[in-house]
Amino acid sequence: GENVEQHPSTLSVQEGDSAVIKCTYSDSASNYFPWYKQELGKGPQLIIDIRSNVGEKKDQRIAVTLNKTAKHFSLHITETQPEDSAVYFCAASRRGGGNKLTFGTGTQLKVEL
Amino acid sequence: SAVISQKPSRDICQRGTSLTIQCQVDSQVTMMFWYRQQPGQSLTLIATANQGSEATYESGFVIDKFPISRPNLTFSTLTVSNMSPEDSSIYLCSVERDAGYGYTFGSGTRLTVV
């Protein structure tokens, strides 16, 4: 089955700096890669996703890049703000293969003033 | 995107008892997913529930421990049976937003077993 590794487990940045979280996946048939933000006491919220037919996607301050050859994808957050502090999870799935999401281990992002 | 309501939002239960968690969606969905998130950990898929068929369980999860019902296209329940402290976790339901993409999660049920 799919295995998703995520790094780093914790990340501390100064407000206004950029943050990068990286994930690798094992199943070359995976074709959908969402990122979730989970704030304390809440369920995960989808913040951005990418499909395997594109290499990059951007939405305001967040962007995701995908390298299918290397089987890794990354989340980039620019101009970080204190409200970006949360746990971020990457995930991978193979649409049409049960559509099951396999999650990474999570990154605790702390944006310091 | 679909709006998911989960009940209860939290509960404290005695060991040996069972708890049924409800998941209500505001639109019809084909597949519903149940996840477990142990304290400080990532999300692990328990089972996939399709309306009109038996749920499909992931390795390490069995129907006797986590029976699931899916009576219609907007509702599902997960029961945590014969609970022990190791079952203390957040249980989340999830649905597809767009045929294999954009999964939405409920706010979760925070279960503590004492």
pLDDT score of B104 more than 80: yes
Q: Which residue has the higher pLDDT, A1 or A103?
A: A103
Nearest neighbour of A32 by CB, restricted to B94, B101, B105: B101
At residue A97 the predicted structure's pLDDT band, cuts being 50, 70 and 90, is low
Predicted confidence (pLDDT) per residue in A36-94, tens digit: 999 999 999 999 999 988 899 999 999 999 999 999 999 999 999 999 999 999 999 98
- What is the distance in angstroms between the Cα of A7 and the nearest Cα belonging to chain B? 13
Q: Which residue has the higher pLDDT, A23 or A97?
A: A23
> What local confidence, expressed as pLDDT, does residue A96 receive?
64
> What local confidence, expressed as pLDDT, does residue B92 receive?
97
For chain A, the residues whose C-beta falls within 8 A of a C-beta of chain B are 32, 34, 36, 41-46, 49, 51, 89, 93, 95-96, 98-106
pLDDT score of B99 more than 70: no
At residue B8 the predicted structure's pLDDT band, cuts being 50, 70 and 90, is very high
B85 touches chain A (CB under 8 A): no
Q: Which of B34, B61, B62 is nearest to B48 (CA)?
A: B34
- What is the distance in angstroms between the Cα of A41 and the nearest Cα belonging to chain B? 8
> What's the full length of chain B, in residues?
114
Which residues 6+ apart lie within 8 Å of A45 measured at CB?
A: A36, A37, A38, A39, B105
Q: Which residue has the higher pLDDT, A9 or B1?
A: A9
pLDDT score of B105 more than 80: yes
DSSP 8-state symbol, A51: E
Chain A residues whose beta carbon lies within 8 Å of the beta carbon of residue B41: 105-106
